[in-house]
């Protein structure tokens, strides 16, 4: 068993001191003890250093302050002063690009945060901001170190302040690989992306015991704050995976789609998928009948490079899709209604999901492609009382505020306020296209005819026949495929098979787009 609490006596000569240094570093590398490592593995979890090795390019990690120790006394801490103080910090590379990282070491004080522990994290966060490089946190800690009292809480405050300072400046990714309770959960919530691993990671403000004591409800740790709960119900987690190796590999993939900071563009790659490739399958994927559902994911995969898509929040608010992909090697953010779920309507959660994604894309210079097939906002008392106006306005604000290239395509339905909100030309889309199957209108023909011609229908001897004829008339006059194009609200009506080359050409033209913003401290978006 290795004891990291005691410093060996200093050697008397230079060679001896170098040998002593290597011995200490080997102790630090191995961790507190084999028993602690075995206990970590028994829980199905990797050690902090094993996780860093999976995340970063081989041999690239440079550790910062590995010999740091806490200086607290009392409550038994004076006899336990392990190196690293329970957090490993440093930098390395992912596919050759610099990435900063800190990883809680659950084997030391359960990964709990104390003053020295927090100071190390503050330092690496400051370094990431100064260097303009992404920051990845590998979270596996028991919260604040109770023995250190309020200084531990102040340490969290410093992390939150730096999360906010770095927001929109460098990508911040939180990877949940163990418990995260209380105030500690707010740091991941402030970052751009949250990854979780099923069965081993949980996040909650108050644990199951407190919930039972206060409300009488009984629930497991995973039921309250596990990966599936946050990926599908709360929306706190953007991604959830079955094991740590897969999770960390996907973090690497996400980093390959993001710029190092807000002053750079995302990495562009060579593309073997022809830019002028026609998507003949699109003619069969999307039914002309607006009442028939289809899978928008299949449409997206047909358009983007090699069908490769990284969907964000895949299991939350599934009536809208937010994804990162590439078009001719260029990273794009895709926002698309999903007709397979709730007919693709916008509701509270879909609005929130898309608004945050649009803001992220705009912050990190990722062009936005919007694919519309939306019948409107979801009606209902719950939606109105839940603040659908306020939440829908978040998406409207995000689009209006975005200065990156924005191109939208209307596939089928685009009705009412939802059409406006989904990056219509009137709120600043740079280019708007439509398929010949488009129906752009205030509302569906049935509803519109019922309002406009209600007296004629009521006075008719055959109301149903009269209604059908008037619906047909309304469609012919106000909802034909070229109505919006004739009025300049759509730039062109395109062959669906040409969607990929049209989008690539549009984004190439918009590559040098520059938008002047009014002088202001910041906006006041709807909350």
Nearest C-alpha neighbor of 151 from the set 108, 117, 107, 105 = 117
Q: Do 123 and 132 meet the contact criterion of CB atoms below 8 Å apart?
A: no
Q: Which two tokens stand for residue 508?
A: 């190439």
β-strands 62-64, 87-94 pairing = antiparallel
Strand duo 172-176 + 135-139: pairing: parallel
Contact (Cβ atoms closer than 8 angstroms) between residue 124 and residue 103: no
Q: How far apart are CA 193 and CA 23, in angstroms?
A: 38
For the question of residue 417 being annotated catalytic, the response is: yes
Strands 135-139, 97-104: pairing is parallel
Q: Which of 323, 418, 429, 449 is catalytic?
A: 418
Terminal C-alpha separation, the chain:
53
Cβ atoms within 10 Å of 513's Cβ, excluding its own:
13
3 state DSSP class of 506: helix
Two tokens at 142?
Answer: 């028991």
User: Is 288 designated active site?
Assistant: no
* Angle subtended by helix axes 445-452 and 463-478, to nearest 10: 110
174: three-class secondary structure by DSSP: strand
Q: Which of 182, 235, 329, 447 is catalytic?
A: 182
Residue 200 and residue 45 in contact, taking contact as beta carbons nearer than 8 Å: yes
Torsion of CA 393, 394, 400, 405, to 10 degrees: -140
129-139 core/surface letters (b: 16 or more CB in 10 A; e: else): beeebbbbbbb
Question: Does residue 428 have an active-site annotation?
Answer: no
Q: Which DSSP symbol is given to 42? A: H
Q: Among 516, 526, 515, 522, which residue's Cα sits nearest to residue 164?
A: 522
Which candidate in 168, 235, 329, 417 is catalytic? 417
Within its chain, how far is the Cα of 163 from the centroid? 15
Rounded Cα gap, residues 448 and 450, in angstroms = 5
Which stretches of 67-175 are DSSP H helices? Answer: 115-131, 150-166
Question: Which one, of 376, 326, 333, lies nearest residue 351 by Cα?
Answer: 376
CB 120 within 8 A of CB 64: yes
| 387 is annotated as an active-site residue | no
Q: How far apart are CA 163 and CA 495, in angstroms?
A: 45
Give the whole-angstrom CA distance, residue 201 versus residue 230: 11
List the catalytic residue out of 132, 183, 386, 387.
183
C-alpha dihedral (99, 352, 246, 102), degrees to nearest 10: 30
Residue of 377, 522, 364, 366 whose CA lies nearest to 442: 377
Task: Count how many residues are written for the chain.
Answer: 527
- The residues annotated as belonging to the active site are 182-183, 417-418
């Amino acid at each position: 068993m290795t004891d990291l609490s005691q410093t060996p006596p200093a050697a008397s000569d230079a060679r001896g001191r170098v040998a002593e240094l290597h011995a200490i570093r080997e102790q630090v590398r191995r961790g507190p003890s084999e028993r602690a490592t075995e206990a970590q593995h028994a829980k199905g979890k990797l050690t902090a250093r094993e996780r860093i090795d999976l995340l970063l390019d081989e041999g690239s990690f440079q550790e910062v302050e590995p010999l740091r120790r806490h200086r607290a006394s009392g409550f038994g801490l004076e006899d336990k002063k392990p190196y690293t103080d329970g957090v490993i910090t440093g930098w390395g590379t992912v596919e050759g690009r610099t990435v900063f990282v800190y990883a809680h070491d659950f084997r030391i004080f359960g990964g709990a945060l104390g003053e020295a522990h927090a100071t190390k994290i503050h330092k690496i966060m400051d370094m990431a901001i100064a260097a303009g490089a992404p920051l990845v946190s590998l979270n596996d800690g028991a919260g604040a170190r109770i023995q250190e009292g309020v200084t531990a809480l102040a340490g969290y405050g410093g992390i939150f302040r730096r999360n906010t300072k770095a927001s929109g400046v460098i990508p911040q990714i939180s990877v949940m690989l163990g418990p995260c309770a209380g105030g500690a959960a707010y740091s991941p919530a402030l970052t751009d992306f949250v990854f979780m691993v099923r069965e081993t990671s949980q996040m909650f403000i108050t644990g199951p015991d407190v919930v039972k004591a206060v409300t009488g409800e009984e629930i497991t740790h995973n039921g309250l704050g596990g990966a599936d709960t946050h990926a599908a119900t709360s929306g706190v987690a953007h991604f959830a995976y079955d094991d740590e190796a897969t999770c960390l590999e996907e973090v690497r993939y996400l980093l390959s789609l993001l710029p190092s900071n807000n002053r750079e563009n995302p990495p562009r790659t060579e593309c073997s998928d022809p830019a002028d490739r026609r998507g003949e399958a699109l003619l069969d994927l999307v039914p002309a009948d607006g009442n028939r559902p289809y899978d928008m994911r299949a449409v997206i995969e047909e358009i983007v490079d090699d069908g490769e898509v990284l969907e964000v929040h895949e299991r939350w608010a599934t009536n809208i899709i937010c994804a990162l992909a590439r078009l001719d090697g260029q990273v794009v953010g895709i926002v698309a209604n999903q007709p397979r779920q709730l007919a693709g309507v916008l509701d509270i959660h879909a609005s929130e999901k898309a608004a945050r994604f649009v803001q992220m894309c705009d912050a990190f210079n990722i062009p936005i492609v919007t694919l519309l097939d939306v019948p409107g906002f979801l009606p209902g008392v719950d939606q109105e009382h839940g603040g659908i106006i306020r939440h829908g306005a978040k998406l409207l604000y995000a689009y209006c505020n975005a200065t990156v290239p924005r191109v939208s395509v209307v596939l089928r339905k685009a009705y009412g306020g939802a059409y406006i909100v989904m990056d219509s030309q009137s709120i600043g889309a740079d280019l708007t296209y439509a398929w010949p199957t488009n129906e752009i209108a205030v509302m569906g023909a049935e509803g519109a005819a019922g309002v406009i011609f209600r007296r004629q229908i009521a006075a008719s001897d055959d109301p149903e026949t009269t209604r059908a004829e008037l619906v047909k008339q309304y469609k012919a006059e106000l909802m034909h495929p070229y109505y919006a194009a004739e009025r300049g609200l759509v730039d062109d009506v395109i062959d669906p098979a040409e969607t990929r080359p049209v989008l690539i050409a549009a984004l190439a033209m918009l590559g040098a787009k520059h938008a002047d913003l009014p002088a202001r401290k910041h906006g006041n978006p709807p909350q």
